[in-house]
Structure 1
C-alpha cells in the first residue's frame, strides 16, 4: 500500500523534553526526555503504573504537563490544525458511543477534521470492518472495537500514529494483521509508537524501544541492544556424562544450572569454550546450542525495581 499523508510529507518526530506530570505528591512521569523517529516501529514499554498512558495523553494534549514539553514536528498537538491529519491515536477502543454505527462514528470524526468522506469507507475496508459498517458499535466484540479504534487512527492518513495496547481482544489472525500493519506504516516513513505489555509482540514488531519505570526513562535503544542488556547468553549443553561435564565447566569459571529435561544451562563461558572443555576430557555431547536472552528476560531484569505490585508479596 503506497500512500501519501494528508500533510504532504511522511515522517514527523515526537520530541519529549523533561516531560513531567505530578498529581499531588505522586509523580506519574518524571523528567522524561527521548525522541521517537519516523521509519520504524517504536515499542513503549513499562510495568503497570510506569507512566506510559499518561505520557501518551500528554503528547495528545489530553493531560497538561506539570513541566517540560511534548511536541510533534516541533509543535504541540493542540497547535496542529485538524489534528487527525497530523497524529492518529488509539487510546481506548471502548471509548465510543455504543448507539452509533461504525460508519457514523468515523463520519463524525472525518467531518470535524475536514477529512473527505471517502476515507471512512477506505479505512473500514482496511481494518476488515466494511461488512459490519452499518452495525451499532454496542454489539461489537472487543476485537472489533480495537479494529474500529485503529480505523479512527488511520482516518486522517497521518504521518504520526500512537497505539495504546492495540493487541487487546484481537484473535491470532488480528494479531498477525496488526503486526503487518504497523510494520507497513513504518516502512512508508511514518512515526509509529506502540505501547504494549506483550513482550512477544514487541519482539516481533518493534525496531526501537522506549522503556519506563516509575515514570523515569530506563532505556531508549534498539530491540537487539535491549534484549542483550542485563542478561548473559546461555549455552545449553547435553551429555550422558553430565556430572563430569558440569564439574569441568564449573572449574573453568562457568555457572552451571540443570534444566528440567536434564540439559546443562551454562553462563560465563562461550559455546566454543564449552566445546573445547568437553573435547579435552573426551566427553561426548549430544547437544550444544546458544540461547540468546529474550526481550522478556531483559525487561524483567531491568524493571524489577520499578514494579508497583509484586505477586506473592504482602501489600
Structure 2
C-alpha cells in the first residue's frame, strides 16, 4: 500500500505538491492523472525517496521507502526508461541490479522472458528502441518480485502488441494482490486498465475514486435519439429548450440532444406521435470529464493568452 498524507514539495517560490493526501491500495490498478505541471513526477519521486518532501509524508507498506533495505524487493518502479547505461547488455544491466539488491540471478532470465526480451538479452541497450527500453524498465521493476509497483508513462514508444501486453500485465499483477500505481496521459489506457483514479491539479487533489465515478462527474450529458422523422423531432425538442445536433450521414443520422433528459424526450415524441428507434443517455467519457474537471489546473493553454 502507498499512503500520501499532507505531502508538500516546494522548489524555491514554486509549490509543486500542495498538502496532497491519497491512498493506493493493493489488488487494483490505480491511475495517476493530472495536467502537465500538476506535480505527478514530484510526487512519484518523493514516494521513491529520490526527493525529500518539504512537508507531510509518503510511505510504502507503512514506512518511508528509504527505510526498506534492498528496495527492489519492496517496490519496483519505472520512471524514465532512458536512464540506463547504453553500453551494457540487458542481461548485464539486470544482473548488476540483482546483485546490489540481493536478488537471485535466476530472476534475470525470468523477467527477460516476461518482458519479451529473451532474444535480445545480450544486445547492447544503446541499440534498443524506445519500446524495448520500456520493456527493460518493466523487467527491472519486476526483478525483486515486489508487492508494490509504480510506472510513469510506461506505454511511450510501445506498439499495439506491446500496449496490450502491458495492459494485461498490470491487471494480472493487481489480481495477484499487488499495489499497482500507473501514471499516464493516455485516457484510453486508463479506461482500459485502471480500476481507481487519483487526479491532481496544481499539486492538489481533485479526485480519488473509481474510473466510472470520475467519468460520471462530467456534466456533459447528452441523449442520442434515432427516428425516421429527424427534422420533425429536432424542431419539437428545440422548441422545448433543448440543444440539438445532427450526428452521422444522411439516411442514418441521429440526434444528439442536450438540455433535456431521456424521459422528457420520450414523452415529447409520444405526444407528437413521432416514432423512436433509439433513446440512449450518453455520459461524459473519461477524457471529457478529465478535461472539464482539470480545466482550472492547466498550466499551459495552447493558443490562449495567459
Q: Tell me the distance in 2 between the aligned counterparts of 1:288 and 1:84.
A: 53
Describe how 1:87-236 pairs up with structure 2 within 5 A: 87-236=75-224
SS at match of 1:96: coil
What residue in structure 2 maps to residue 10 of structure 1? none
State how far apart, in whole Å, the 2-side matches of 1:292 and 1:203 are: 14
Q: Distance in 1 between matches of 2:39 and 2:46?
A: 10
1:310 and 2:298 equivalent?
no
Instruction: Report what 2:70 is aligned to.
Output: 82
Deviation of 1:130 after TM superposition, in Å, equals 0.4
Deviation at 1:274, TM superposition (A): 1.8
Matched with 1:3 is none
1:279 to 243, 254, 270: 270
Structure 1 unaligned regions, length at least 5? 1-12
Q: 2:61, 2:241 → 1: CA distance?
A: 52
Secondary structure of 1:20's aligned partner: strand
What residue is the counterpart of 2:2 in the other structure?
14
Counterpart secondary structure, 1:158: coil
Contact 2:218 2:284 in 1 (8 A): no
State the TM-score, normalized to the length of structure 1: 0.92
Q: Does 1:296 align with 2:287?
A: yes
The question of whether the paired residues in 1 share the 8 Å contact of 2:90 and 2:122 is answered with: yes
Segments of structure 2 that go 5 or more residues without pairing to the other structure are none
Alignment check: 8 A CA contact 2:247 2:254 kept: yes
Q: Aligned to 1:38, what secondary structure does the other structure show?
A: coil
- SS of the aligned residue for 1:103 comes to helix
* C-alpha distance after superposition, 1:85-111 (max 9, x if no partner): 000000000100000000000001100
- C-alpha displacement of 1:240: 4.5
What secondary structure does 2:44 align onto? helix
Q: Is the 8 A contact 1:231 1:297 kept in 2?
A: no
Deviation at 1:308, TM superposition (A): 1.0
Q: Are the counterparts in 1 of residues 134 and 154 from structure 2 also a CA contact under 8 Å?
A: yes
- What's the offset of the Cα at 1:76? 0.4
How far is 1:260 from its partner?
6.1
Deviation, 1:312, is 1.3
Report SS of the residue matched to 1:33. strand
Secondary structure in structure 2 of the residue aligned to 1:183: helix
- Secondary structure of 2:244 counterpart: strand
More displaced, 287-296 or 185-194? 287-296
Distance 2:82 2:110 in 1: 22
Q: TM-score with structure 2 length normalisation?
A: 0.95
Q: Of 255, 258, 276, which aligns to 1:264?
A: 255
1:250, distance to aligned residue in structure 2 (A): 3.8
1:44/1:193 contact within 8 Å kept: yes
8 Å CA contact retained: 1:50, 1:213: yes
CA contact (8 A) 1:211 1:218 kept: yes
C-alpha displacement at 1:289, in angstroms? Answer: 2.8
Report the CA distance between 1:234 and its aligned residue: 1.6
Contact map agreement 1:102 1:132 (CA 8 A) in 2: yes
Deviation, 1:266, is 1.4
**In 1, distance between residues paired with 2:21 and 2:175?**
25
Q: Secondary structure at the match of 1:312?
A: coil
